[in-house]
Structure 1
Amino acid sequence: MIFSVMASGTTCRLLQRRLSSTVATATATRPSMAELRGRRSEVFGREQARQRALYPRIEKIEVQLHGPGLDGTTLVMNKGLSTPLSCAKHLTEFHVTASAVAMVDGEQWSLHRPLTRSCSLSLHSFRDADPALVNQAYWRSCASLLGQVMETSFKDDFLVELLSAPELPVTSGAFCHDVVLDPQLDSWLPTEEALRSLSRGAQQLIHQNLVWEPLEVAPPVALEVFSHSRFKQEEVEKMAAESPQGNVTLYRCGDHVLLSAGPLVARTGLCNQYEVTAVHSLGSGPRGLQRRVQGLSLPLQLQAHHTVWRKLRARAEKQVGVPVAPEACPPPPDAPTPISDPTPTATPSV
């Protein structure tokens, strides 16, 4: 009987060792977040180079400008190479630094997206008489920046899966991005210091004045970019089905590649006041515990007094009224026990 118990104990220890070894091997072979970002950026760069090679000869197009003081102005630009920003550089410093998005033949257009035909063009900034178009692009860009912060701020051995960034009006009071953190962090409850650390990560990206590079691609390219995220692949398929051309638009900011349903502003430097205000639990789903990260920001051309900012921030802390994704279940009745706050890192790596 004693021998039997000892044998059983030995067997258990051997099984535990094998299991630990299997888990360690799986963790070692699992690509890190930095490796995933590198692969996505590499595919983006390869497709970008392929598309640029489609225009071996320089062909001229005419761009008719519209806007205050610009009506009747026509520029001769290069097909497939010149962008709305290229056109702005033929105007004034204000058009270069203040323009956020463009309209090309009535279609919303990124400042960095090449022009492929003769067209009409108008440049838009936060000083427009009707800034609705720019404000929505700005809110969308801030949500995209929030996703980038969440993916880069945690320790590299914690995987972060970015879900959707719900399209919210500016009047909602906050922009947001849904995420699933590594299962090891299921019981993590963010402290005020953690939120400040995430905000510092966003400020670093803003200070770098990174460009949001657009690239319209066929679905197979986007599926390759997001080959490690089944959620993003499903999002690609849905966007492609809803697009008249059957394509989707990717953006790259630094080495971070994302999907977007609409144009983003020209660069991160157009953001100014920016804070990550809250992290709300949406409950468990097939991919794990879903969370909604929220933030608040004002552009460089618009600033608020600190008393007004405090009121706006208090509003942005409350969970925004966005329909919960069908896969998300109601939060469990018993809140998880908080663990120590090892993440995000004090100085997020970008």
Structure 2
Amino acid sequence: MNHRSRLISPFLAHRRRVLGEGGAGTVQQKLLQKAAAETPVQTAPKRFYRFGHRVNVGGYFVSPKWFDQELLLKEDVKLSAACLQRPDGVVSQANRLFNEEQERQRALVSRIEKIEVILEKPFPTHDDVVLMMNRSISTPYDCAAHISELLRNRSALAVVDGTKSWHMHQPLENSCHLRLLHFKHDDPMPVNYAFWRSCSMLLASVVKRAFKEEHPVAILSPPMSDLAGGSFVVDASIASLPDTWTPTTEELRSFTSLLWDEVTANRHFERLQVSADTARKLFAGDAKRLAQIGEASSSSDTTTFTVYRVGDHIELCEEALIASTGLIGSIFTSAVHRISTPNGGTFYRFQGVALPRQLHINAYAFSLIRDRAKQLNSVGLS
């Protein structure tokens, strides 16, 4: 052993006696184990909402990790209901039937015939445009795409021959005058009503799949377009929920996050005209819709019904809806109210508020609109 070894060896021997035979690494592990034993383990509250990006109060996208950290800071957080599940067999069967009927109707067009569509002033500085389109194939959406991408993306609703509202994805049947409406149009009321109905149907699609399997949801109300109430509404019957259930802030956020997912997915509102027999098959598990179909078809066997689909949700709706969810800008679930019926039953009224993507509003003004939308909207309750 050389002179340098004799000087270092006593120090190393002392260090080993203090730290143990394993050296510094073992001490670090022991310190970590000791700290872990002394620190109470915090686990995230059981989450009933879906993995993915969510929206916080300010409207910014936040990660699930951030959301869990926020929940850990609140000891009294109790998430009781909102849980996302994939559509069950009944919904999957209805969507399969919808696809088959859609393909069957498309196959009926065996011969391409031309029609003349006069598009009225697609832009204020433009003249009318004459387009040669295909009967029972071309839609107002196709007509807009022939002019410009801007016109296609902003058009929410069409008007045929100056009187009839026409869905953007509904095939044109004859030569006609066509006017495309957007949210800054000179006469925005038709598209405003379509926008409100579309948001109502979108909220229904979210509510229907937002609860656990032991809480089946039945949508009671059709898509409604009451503007005076300050919110769009959905009435739903939810089985096995406790009478004291009131959605927490986190649960309302989970509903809102689902709405945002549908908006960013830019899903088309698909329209289909079906017979009474097909309508009964589509709504085989919905007693309320079956009663409505039976009442409407009792006077005539040739009665047809208009159905719309957004995502996996299918609904009866005779009035036109907007082209896609991508036309919706800010959208929030405002409140859920428990309503008692005269016969002793109960249902829940979900309320929301939204703005078209084409329109912009001051943040403070929109906060006032959101606060007002929390009040009970009494449309259809009297």
TM-score if structure 1 supplies the norm length? 0.78
> Aligned partners of 1:87 and 1:217: how far apart in 2?
25
Root mean square deviation of aligned Cα = 2.3
| 1:248/1:71 CA distance change after superposition, 3 Å | farther
The aligned residue for residue 254 of structure 2 is 197
The aligned residue for residue 65 of structure 1 is 119
> Aligned partners of 2:344 and 2:205: how far apart in 1?
19
Q: Is the 8 A contact 2:201 2:223 kept in 1?
A: no
Is 2:213 the counterpart of 1:159?
Answer: no
Q: Which moved more, 1:303-312 or 1:69-78?
A: 69-78
Unaligned runs of 5+ in 2: 1-85
Is 2:144 the counterpart of 1:95?
Answer: no
CA deviation digits over 1:26-54, x for unaligned, max 9? xxxxxx84222211111111111111111
> Aligned partners of 2:299 and 2:377: how far apart in 1?
26
The aligned residue for residue 50 of structure 2 is none
| 1:48/1:166 CA distance change after superposition, 3 Å | closer
| 1:247/1:286 CA distance change after superposition, 3 Å | farther
Q: Is the 8 A contact 2:268 2:310 kept in 1?
A: yes
Q: Is the 8 A contact 2:271 2:307 kept in 1?
A: yes
Q: Is the 8 A contact 1:273 1:303 kept in 2?
A: no
| 1:156/1:261 CA distance change after superposition, 3 Å | same
Q: Is the 8 A contact 2:214 2:240 kept in 1?
A: no
> Aligned partners of 2:290 and 2:310: how far apart in 1?
20
CA deviation digits over 1:242-285, x for unaligned, max 9? 99x73221111122211113111100011111111111122147
Amino acid at match of 2:170: R
CA deviation digits over 1:178-234, x for unaligned, max 9? 100122454422112111110111001111000000011112211111110111112
The aligned residue for residue 122 of structure 1 is 179
The aligned residue for residue 34 of structure 1 is 88
Amino acid at match of 2:192: N
> Aligned partners of 1:307 and 1:241: how far apart in 2?
51
1:314 CA drift (Å): 1.1
> Aligned partners of 1:87 and 1:139: how far apart in 2?
25
1:71 CA drift (Å): 4.7
> Aligned partners of 1:241 and 1:278: how far apart in 2?
38
> Aligned partners of 1:239 and 1:170: how far apart in 2?
27
Amino acid at match of 2:232: F
Of structures 1 and 2, the larger Rg is shown by 2
| 1:36/1:69 CA distance change after superposition, 3 Å | farther
> Aligned partners of 1:119 and 1:241: how far apart in 2?
33
> Aligned partners of 1:155 and 1:142: how far apart in 2?
23
> Aligned partners of 1:318 and 1:157: how far apart in 2?
29
The aligned residue for residue 330 of structure 1 is none
2:136 aligned counterpart, secondary structure:
coil
The aligned residue for residue 77 of structure 1 is 133
> Aligned partners of 2:194 and 2:103: how far apart in 1?
26
Amino acid at match of 1:295: G
Which of 260, 264, 280 is the matching residue for 1:207? 264
1:277 aligned counterpart, secondary structure:
strand
User: Hey, which bits of structure 1, 4+ residues long, moved more than 6 A?
Assistant: none
1:70 CA drift (Å): 5.3
> Aligned partners of 1:165 and 1:270: how far apart in 2?
21
Is 2:322 the counterpart of 1:265?
Answer: yes
Q: Is the 8 A contact 2:226 2:379 kept in 1?
A: no
Which of 359, 363, 379 is the matching residue for 1:302? 359
> Aligned partners of 2:108 and 2:223: how far apart in 1?
34
**Mapping for residues 221-232 of structure 1, pairs under 5 Å:** 221-232=278-289
Is 2:102 the counterpart of 1:45?
Answer: no
The aligned residue for residue 322 of structure 1 is 379
CA deviation digits over 1:7-66, x for unaligned, max 9? xxxxxxxxxxxxxxxxxxxxxxxxx84222211111111111111111012111111111
> Aligned partners of 2:89 and 2:244: how far apart in 1?
26
TM-score if structure 2 supplies the norm length? 0.72
> Aligned partners of 1:166 and 1:93: how far apart in 2?
29
| 1:111/1:168 CA distance change after superposition, 3 Å | closer
Q: Is the 8 A contact 2:223 2:317 kept in 1?
A: no
Bigger relative contact order (CA 8 A; separation at least 6): 1
The aligned residue for residue 311 of structure 1 is 368
1:134 aligned counterpart, secondary structure:
helix
Q: Is the 8 A contact 1:166 1:322 kept in 2?
A: no
2:323 aligned counterpart, secondary structure:
coil
CA deviation digits over 1:150-191, x for unaligned, max 9? 012112342110111363332321010110012245442211
CA deviation digits over 1:86-137, x for unaligned, max 9? 0001112221110001011221111001112212111000010121011110
> Aligned partners of 2:189 and 2:298: how far apart in 1?
27
> Aligned partners of 2:215 and 2:102: how far apart in 1?
30
